[in-house]
Amino acid sequence: MSTAMYTRRLIEHRYGRTLEELQRGNANGHSDDPVLPILLRRLDGLAHTDAEARSARRNLDRAWQRRRSGEHVLDDLVLLYATEVIDLERQEQSEAEAVWDLLDVRLLLDRPPAQRPSHHRAARTPGDEELLATAREVAAGLHRLNREALGRGLRDRGIHVSNRRLGVVLQRLRTENPSH
């Protein structure tokens, strides 16, 4: 599958409509998506470059076939077409990456703004001594003390701590009770 075809299918997948529907909606001015017009222009440019690259590959193939049949004077022509194919493939890749970046921008625009956690969801953050006391209680009920089990036990009690802080508490508990 060509890069242009892959990119087209990716756009259709992300928007949930065919390219023709997107183009009609954009031409009628029914699109409130600020990225869509830019995306469609870039996709047209990519399709044009893809067509040029296919043409250059056909020219290279014909020149190579003639060269293989014994026309050694065509070495320069083969080299010329090969260089053109390489340049067009680089351009095509660059244009495709620009379209993919625009699709990423669109995803970011579709994402709802970050909301502050409500007071119901906010986890309490205990002080060091309170955390250590609760961690001792959790550790007493554990068969084997490890980071995962201690973290799960604290979360079950509604206490959420950072991984760094959990590591400090875990280390302190192990120094207090080496049998764990």
What mean pLDDT do residues 74-93 have? 87
CA torsion sign for 41, 47, 52, 56 is positive
Residue type, 46: L
Place of tokens 């998506």: 33
CA angle 21, 6, 88 (to 5 degrees): 115
Average pLDDT of the chain to the nearest whole number: 81
pTM of the model: 0.52
What mean pLDDT do residues 149-159 have? 87
Nearest to 43 by CA among 67, 26, 58: 26
Using the predicted structure, report yes or no on whether residue 160 has a pLDDT greater than 90.
Answer: no
- Model confidence over 122-153: pLDDT tens digits? 455 667 888 888 989 988 888 888 888 888 88
